[in-house]
Structure 1
Amino acid sequence: MKRTGAAARVPRRVIMKLLAKRAERIAASMASASPEALPPTDVDPDSNRGLGYRLMLQFGFAADQWQYLDALWRRESGWNHLAENPSSGAYGVPQSLPGSKMAAVAPDWRTNPETQIMWGLAYIAARYGDPEGAWGHSQRVGWY
């Protein structure tokens, strides 16, 4: 069976620790707005991609990581928060396998793209360090 989606086991405590650090960074940066916070011109700011760009920066990834995150999640789900892989059951924007792992962030994981993206960013940070690492792994083996 071909593995797809975010299938590796990352302990819940690691995901939660990374999300706590993200919250601290957001609180610290609330006073200053960066022009970098605006998504690239080809990204609708009101779309899941626009949300993903903002959350990626808030999470602490540099703007140059966007090309990798965007490529990864375009391929995985097309940024569709309702995407479900019929063969593996991987779910949501990050194609979490199983999707219920995203409940570590919030119980609305089935329908809330923000919950899914936050979980996916923490997963990428814990497992690969950054979106470039996740993209590289996905390019080599077909999943991340």
Structure 2
Amino acid sequence: MLEGNRVSRISVRGFAVASATAVTTVGAVVGVASGSDKGSTTEPVEATAADTTILAEIPAGQQAQVQTASLTQQADVQSTAADAEAKKSAEESARKQAAKDASAKKAAAEKAEKERAEKEAAEKKAAEEREKEKEEAASRSASRDSVSTSSFPQQGSYSVAEVQAIARQIVPADQFQCFSNIVNHESTWNYKATNPSSGAYGLVQALPASKMSSAGADWRTNPATQIKWGLSYMNGKYQSPCGAWSFWQSNHWY
């Protein structure tokens, strides 16, 4: 009975020694494999004939547990290494993506700046062209305004054709049709036309009629004076006869 107890204690001690030996051995192997100096300087484990004899006494099931513990530790080491490699790979991918995004953002900013500059240049050019057209229109208007009504000998009466001929010499060619459209609706080219209810008078139906005196004292009988005043009115209020005609079409007055 005592002998049996002795063998049992020896078996337990042998299992502990075997376990420690296996774990230490695995640690040494892992240290060498990873290039660690510390792994290669593990303290030697005493292995005696008695220990070997005791290890041999460990039942097969307990030996399997020792082997499982060893394999588990190896798996943990490999898993840690794999995680570290995966983290490194992810960081590298993130760095490359960040560089790519920064490059794309820079390209987009440069494109936007180029488009903005082109838009500003186009707007500036358009503004310059509008200003040039405005100056040319003003020049034409001034030229027309400088035409003296004395250039048209006054007659006792004028036919529609004669009045229209005078208008063609005063109104710019590109504005004549618009001017003519308004006169057609207002007076049908009758320079003596009078609105009985409002008192509007002449080719362009000035109201009050006396406003035409600014173009000449003969505004009642001289169509040239009426035309000159009418053109000045349309340019001043609507920028041109065509501007006045556009307004007239929407409102039927100007």
Q: Do the structures match in fold with TM over 0.5?
A: yes
Q: Which residue of 2 aligns with 1:55?
A: 170
1:69 partner amino acid: F
1:21 partner amino acid: A
Whether the 8 Å CA contact 1:45–1:51 is kept in 2: the answer is no
Whether the 8 Å CA contact 2:147–2:170 is kept in 1: the answer is no
Q: Note the residue ranges of structure 2 that are not aligned, 5 or more in a row.
A: 1-138, 149-158
Q: 1-side partners of 2:177 and 2:214: how far apart?
A: 27
Q: Over the residues paired in the alignment, what is the CA RMSD in angstroms?
A: 2.5
Q: Which residue of 1 aligns with 2:180?
A: 70
SS of the equivalent of 2:171 reads helix
Q: 2-side partners of 1:24 and 1:88: how far apart?
A: 28
Pair 1:94 & 2:215 matched? no
TM-superposed deviation, 1:25: 6.1
TM-superposed deviation, 1:64: 2.3
Which runs of structure 2 are paired with 1:7-18 in the superposition (5 Å)?
none
CA distance 1:88–1:24, change in 2 (3 Å)? closer
Q: Note the residue ranges of structure 1 that are not aligned, 5 or more in a row.
A: 1-17, 28-43, 58-62
Q: 1-side partners of 2:178 and 2:212: how far apart?
A: 21
Q: 1-side partners of 2:186 and 2:202: how far apart?
A: 9
TM-superposed deviation, 1:142: 1.1
Q: Which residue of 2 aligns with 1:79?
A: 189
CA distance 1:23–1:74, change in 2 (3 Å)? closer
Q: Can you list the C-alpha shifts for 1:28-56, whole angstroms capped at 9, x where unaligned? A: xxxxxxxxxxxxxxxx9951111111110
Q: 2-side partners of 1:134 and 1:124: how far apart?
A: 6
Pair 1:130 & 2:240 matched? yes
Q: Can you list the C-alpha shifts for 1:68-91, whole angstroms capped at 9, x where unaligned? A: 111110110111110011121110
TM-superposed deviation, 1:23: 6.0
TM-superposed deviation, 1:94: 1.0
1:84 partner amino acid: T
CA distance 1:110–1:24, change in 2 (3 Å)? closer
Q: 2-side partners of 1:142 and 1:80: how far apart?
A: 19
Q: TM-score, normalised by structure 1?
A: 0.65
CA distance 1:111–1:132, change in 2 (3 Å)? same
Q: Which residue of 2 aligns with 1:35?
A: none
CA distance 1:26–1:53, change in 2 (3 Å)? same
Divergent runs of 4+, >6 A: none
Q: TM-score, normalised by structure 2?
A: 0.38
Q: Which residue of 1 aligns with 2:222?
A: 112
Residue of 10, 21, 40 corresponding to 2:142: 21
Q: 2-side partners of 1:87 and 1:49: how far apart?
A: 27
Identical columns (%): 42
Whether the 8 Å CA contact 2:212–2:229 is kept in 1: the answer is yes
2:163 partner amino acid: N
